Amino acid sequence: MVQAPQVRETNASIANTDDLKEYASYATTYESDGNELDGFLCLPDGTGPFPGVLFNHGSSGLMSSNKPGFEALARLGYASFAAVRRGYNENPGTCWCDRITAPWGSSEMVEQLMVVFEEECRDVLAARDWLANHPQVDAQRIALIGASFGGVVTVLASEHSSMFRAGVSFTESAHPSSETCVLRDALLRSIRQSTIPLFLLQAQNAQGLEPTFTLGRELANLNKPYKVRVYPADRAKSADEHGIFGGCVELWGEDVQRFLDQCFV
């Protein structure tokens, strides 16, 4: 059962802008629902236009620990855009944690969370438009990548299939942490509506493999293009079980590049 994501980070870390200082050389902004939001673009060497990859950060916002994965995508040949969503890293808007008033794990809480995800998906689509309009980006070849909270956002946004060519979700975000099925049903609905290939990645030492397998089984039953990869715990040990995007680039880099290049043909 795919259920509400487990949030480990403290609320205090969500408003921390210190992490963004490491991205200063890539800084730009994009607009969503009237908010001017931070974004960071890292371009590959050479002459574009390049295929684009939109990175969706986790529940604590864009962190310095994401930077190795963010920069690796550019080294692999993609215009890597990390778009900070509303309320994170002191961006305008109310952070998700301040929107959740119901008891954690309750059905009411997940319904509130779904409203948050809907708004954050609008930020993702606005960031996609910004990236598509960049002169060094091929607007016809843009993919989504998300980790942690952003892995859920990636799957939910994938139903906007005409805007993306592929989605990659580091699905360690979707731990079983409540009895409600609201989020599970939303993720499955997005998968059913999506027509783009999806790649679900997870480390074996992350908490709960069942969400990944649930989504993978649904994709298989629908005969949709997808890939699932669970990396052995001993290979992921150089990173926290929840952070292989930034902590284990050598683990997933070639797999993601192979997948995206096939989707971008």
Instruction: Give the containing element (helix H, strand E) for 228.
Output: strand 226-231
What string of H, E and C letters represents the secondary structure of 67-103? Answer: HHHHHHHHHCCCEEEEECCCCCCCCCCCCHHHHCCCC
SS3 255: helix
3-state SS of 97-159? HHHCCCCCCCHHHHHHHHHHHHHHHHHHHHHHHHHHCCCCEEEEEEEEEEECHHHHHHHHHCC
Query: CB under 8 Å to 111, separation ≥6 — which residues?
Result: 102, 182
pLDDT of residue 204: 82
> What pLDDT, on the 0 to 100 scale, is given for residue 139?
97
pLDDT tens, N- to C-terminus, the chain (265 residues)? 333 344 433 344 454 677 899 999 999 999 999 999 999 999 999 988 999 999 999 988 999 999 999 999 999 999 999 999 999 999 999 888 888 899 887 888 888 989 999 999 999 999 999 999 999 999 999 999 999 889 999 999 999 999 999 999 987 544 444 445 778 888 999 999 999 999 999 888 766 777 888 899 999 999 999 999 998 877 766 555 568 899 899 999 999 999 999 999 9
pLDDT of residue 237: 64
Give the pLDDT confidence score for residue 203 in this predicted structure: 85
Tell me the C-alpha distance between 4 and 178, whole Å.
Answer: 6
Q: What is d(CA 26, CA 84) in angstroms, rounded to the nearest whole number?
A: 13
Spatial distance between the Cα atoms of 78 and 216, rounded to a whole number of angstroms: 26
